[in-house]
Structure 1
Amino acid sequence: MVGEMALSELPADLSEHARVMQRVHEAVLTGSRPPVRPRGVVERSWSRMLDLGLDVSGSPRAMVPLPDLELRRRRSGLEPVIGELRQLLSRAAETSPFLVVVTDADGVILWRDGASRVRAYADALGFAEGARWTEATVGTNAVGTALVEAAPVQLLAAEHFESAQHPWYCCAAPVHSPVTGELAGVVDISGPALTLHPAIGALVETSVRLAESGLWRVHEQRLERLRRTAEPVLGGVGEPLLVVDDDGWVAVRSGIAAGPRVAVPREGLPLAVAGLGLCTPERLGEGWLLRPRRERGPMQAELDLSGDPVVRVHGGDGSWSAGLTRRQAQVLALIARAGPAGVDAAVLGRGLFGDDGHAVTARAEVSRLRRVVGDLVAPAPYRLADGVSLTVTGEA
């Protein structure tokens, strides 16, 4: 069996690997026994393509109109760092036979740079700005497969599903926002198959690190602006409070030993913050002022599963409720049953899915839950916050 290939690894003989993969590709698509099994990432992707009924000869590319493309560029969150990223990659692309592509989290190509001869070939493939380069639209490819696998992917020649992409290599890796933890997009380098070099993988990985560190730098600058905005407002205030940005990151803390982040504030929605109790977020510049309601005390929460899941919270001088998805309700119930000791992501993943290997997914589920219920759920380990009790009603 052909082993897994990291971005920094290459087969010893590119030509031989390409020839073998061509025979494997033909065998798999005709239902014959392949001479060797494809790498696991390739085998999984081909299986998805066959299930989707995709044609190896390709199909018309789905293109995003220019106004929508500009909107996607702004919403991707990558605009603040794209200049630095393109500067790093474009210099290499101008003198090398490869193409540099940055997509959003939906696989839509936002920016593209590279040598003119490679751009012309990419245009013929529909590998252009505005194209949606997901597995469902163009078959197995590094961008789309990296999105599905949530991991770096390198593909060579006939490891691609579409025949037109066989003369091509591609190396891609996801970029995540260090602020929200969410997928922001993908960086990809592609070029003629037999020109693939070990340095390409390292360049992709360096680009991802550069983008993520740049996004964190922009985040720190935003927090500093928020601190300056808060200074004249908070002068002389003696009560416990927090000032946080729109993602819940703490810029100022006073009279409370808070962590670096709380749940995301919502206009008009009471927010449960450990150590403060129920707060009503007040808009302050680019962020929010969080301070307790007049009375503080324990909070009682009820998870009602008799219909569509609802969590109801009572504490201090107010109460609030919020609808949950079935998955969010399941996560909250598992965390509550864990008791004061809490539960880590691995154990929570087993409780949700029945087996190991879902820790990353479990962390994402908790993140989504905390956007709704705030700091009712405390992190590391996941548990109900101090002073919070929860009962579950309406279980089948």
Structure 2
Amino acid sequence: MAVHSAVPPGRSLPAHARDLVRMHEAVIGGGRPQVPPRPLVSRSWSRALSLGLAADSMNERDSVSETEVVRRRHASPLRQVIGDLRQVIGAMSDAGHMLLVVTDADGVILWREGSSAVRRRADTLGFAEGAEWTEARVGTNAIGTALAEAAPVELLAGEHFEQNQHPWYCTASPIHDPRTGELLGVIDVSGPALTLHPAVGALVETGRRLAESQLWHSHRQRLERLRRAGEPVLAAGPALLVDSDGWVAHSAGVAVGERIAVPRPGQVLAVPGLGACLPEPLGDGWLVRPAGLARQVVLDLDLGRAPVLSLRTGETGWRRPVTRRHAEILVLLGKAGHQGLSAEALSRALHGDADHLVTVRAEVSRLRRLLGAIVDNRPYRLAEDVRLTVHPGQ
């Protein structure tokens, strides 16, 4: 999803920045501005006001210790790509006016890169490593609002909730794990408001794409190492070799797509085409082989007050609670049949529009961690050997 510019086409940047500051003064003062805030900004300001944040002063910042920053950096997959992101920003002619910031999924700043001058200006806002830069702490800002809206955000001058952030622009986009869809953090480029360039949004989007592409490349390399290590064991088939997240490194005698459910010790998996399987640890992954002769997978979804999904294949199976959203997705996929649904169609069915693609993909990815190849993609649909029965409940 592209970053929408904070400056309308044809508008002068200095004039628009001044109008946004006047807009802030009017709205916060209870008046009616000549230039109304964008819906994105209105929603964020409403959240900030409901939290009791002050617009005319710097709200109390919250930071983690240096030791905690180091721990979070080491735990973050984004540590693999921060060097590449620095190179992308450093290649810009205006890099001296830019501050690159990368946070984790909690909005805690883990890395900050920029000239000493722009870093000193950021320090006066508490915009430094370890700071929690969420809406709940600092009001409307690109990082916190991107987390709240689950979408890229660009803000200019008076669109920030705190007045002391008005001399700035900020452009941010969430970064997701391409394997799981989980939010990993946010990439942000900020700088003096009147240095905002139309290319900044594209720069942030390039950084996001680069990060996710590099993470996916590393994932494929790990799968290849797992395949080379375990391929001799699969010669007899049918069987699968998968990593700890259920991604298929190698298959023999069965075609199941790219992913199955996440293997767990002693827990039966239902794999379309293989039926009930009991995963066995093998090096850094799992060997998955049939535990019986049954091949069809039967799902029963109970839509009671707390949805429950039952899975059965042959004489084995399990019963687990699922979220209301995952229950809705399963019902929609069951109705769609073999034709399935695109991400856009699923977004319209769940949210009424096609603007929630990132959210939809993340939800389906979480569902596939539970069910694996039972839920197929491209398009989203239930696998061929799966039968779903829905019980409406009370």
TM more than 0.5: yes
Kindly state the Cα deviation for residue 7 of structure 1 after the two structures are TM-superposed: 7.4
Please tell me whether the aligned partners of residues 241 and 253 of structure 1 are also in contact (alpha carbons under 8 angstroms): yes
Aligned to 1:263: 261
SS of equivalent to 1:189: strand
- Look up the equivalent residue of 1:264 and give its one-letter code: V
* AA at the equivalent of 1:62: D
On the 8 A contact 1:101/1:112 being kept in 2, the answer is: yes
> Is the Cα contact below 8 Å between 1:93 and 1:100 reproduced in 2?
no
3-state DSSP of counterpart to 1:125: coil
Which residue number corresponds to residue 310 of structure 2?
312
Q: CA deviation at 1:91?
A: 6.4
Residue matched to 1:148: 148
Q: CA separation in 2, counterparts of 1:298 and 1:159?
A: 55
Q: Distance in 2 between matches of 1:351 and 1:238?
A: 44
Tell me how far apart the structure 2 counterparts of residues 206 and 346 of structure 1 sit (CA, whole Å): 23
Q: Deviations over 1:92-116 (max 9, x none)?
A: 5996122111111221101011111
Deviations 1:120-174 (A, max 9, x none): 1211111010111111211111111222233322222111110110111112222
Aligned mates of 1:26, 1:9 — CA distance in 2: 20
The 1:217–1:14 alpha-carbon spacing in structure 2 relative to 1, beyond 3 Å, is same
Q: Deviations over 1:178-201 (max 9, x none)?
A: 222222211111122222233433
Specify the alignment match of 2:157 in structure 1.
157
Residue in 1 aligned with 2:288?
290
Change (3 A) 1:169 1:393: closer
Partner SS state of residue 20, structure 2 = helix
| Matching of residue 369 in structure 1 with residue 377 in structure 2 | no
Match of 1:208 in 2: 208
Residue type at the aligned position of 2:215 = L
Q: Does the CA contact (< 8 Å) of 1:271 and 1:375 recur in 2? A: no
The change in CA–CA distance for 1:357 and 1:207 in structure 2 (over 3 A counts) is closer
Q: Name the CA distance, whole Å, in 2 between partners of 1:8 and 1:282.
A: 56
Q: Which has the higher contact order (CA 8 A, sep 6+)?
A: 2
TM-align CA RMSD: 2.7
| 1:308/1:323 contact within 8 Å kept | yes
1:21-75 C-alpha deviation (Å, 9 max, x unpaired): 1110011111211011123332332233233332111311111122322232233
CA distance in 1, matches of 2:213, 2:346: 30
Q: Rate the CA distance shift 1:341–1:196 in 2: closer, same or farther, 3 A.
A: closer
Matches for 1:13-32 after TM superposition, within 5 Å: 13-32=12-31
| 1:204-238 deviation per Cα after TM superposition (whole angstroms, max 9, x unaligned) | 2222222122112211211111112113433xx32
Check conservation: 1:9, 1:198, Cα contact below 8 A.
Answer: no
Shift of 1:117: 1.8
Relative to structure 1, the CA distance from residue 22 to residue 353 in structure 2 (aligned partners, 3 Å threshold; closer, same or farther) is: closer
More displaced stretch, 80-89 vs 29-38: 80-89
Q: Are residues 222 and 197 of structure 1, via their aligned partners in 2, closer, same or farther at CA, if it must alter by over 3 Å?
A: same
Q: Secondary structure at the match of 2:287?
A: strand
Aligned partner letter, 1:25: H
SS at structure 1 position matched to 2:31: coil
After superposition, the C-alpha distances for 1:229-255 in whole angstroms (9 at most, x for unaligned) are: 113433xx3221221222222211211
The worse-fitting range, judged by mean Cα deviation, of 245-254 and 334-343 is: 334-343
Q: Is the counterpart of residue 43 in structure 1 residue 42 in structure 2?
A: yes
Compare 302-311 and 46-55 and name the one that shifted more. 302-311
Gaps of 5+ in 2: none
Offset at residue 328 of structure 1 (A): 2.4
1:167–1:354 CA distance, 2 compared to 1 (3 A): closer
Displacement of 1:317: 4.3
Equivalenced residue count is 391
Q: Distance in 2 between matches of 1:330 and 1:356?
A: 17
Q: Which residue of 2 aligns with 1:134?
A: 134
* 1:80 aligns to 2:83 (yes or no): no
1:78 shift after superposition:
0.5
> What secondary structure, in the 3-state scheme, does the structure 2 residue paired with 1:96 have?
helix
Query: How many percent of aligned residue pairs carry the same amino acid?
Result: 57
Give the secondary structure class of the aligned counterpart of 2:124: helix
Q: TM-score, normalised by structure 1?
A: 0.89
Off by >6 Å, runs of 4+ in structure 1: 7-11
Q: TM (normalized to structure 2)?
A: 0.89
Q: Which residue of 2 aligns with 1:240?
A: 238
SS of the residue corresponding to residue 242 of structure 1 reads: strand
Report SS of the residue matched to 1:102: strand
Distance in 2, matches of 1:202 and 1:374, equals 34
Q: Against the structure 1 CA distance between its residues 355 and 19, is the aligned structure 2 distance closer, same or farther, given a 3 Å change threshold? A: closer
- Aligned to 1:6, the other structure's residue is in SS state coil
Please give the alpha-carbon distance, in whole angstroms, between the structure 2 residues aligned to 1:301 and 1:208: 37
Instruction: Answer yes or no: is the 8 Å Cα contact 1:93–1:99 preserved in 2.
Output: no
**2: CA distance, partners of 1:204 / 1:7:** 14
Aligned mates of 2:105, 2:10 — CA distance in 1: 30
Partner of 2:63: 63
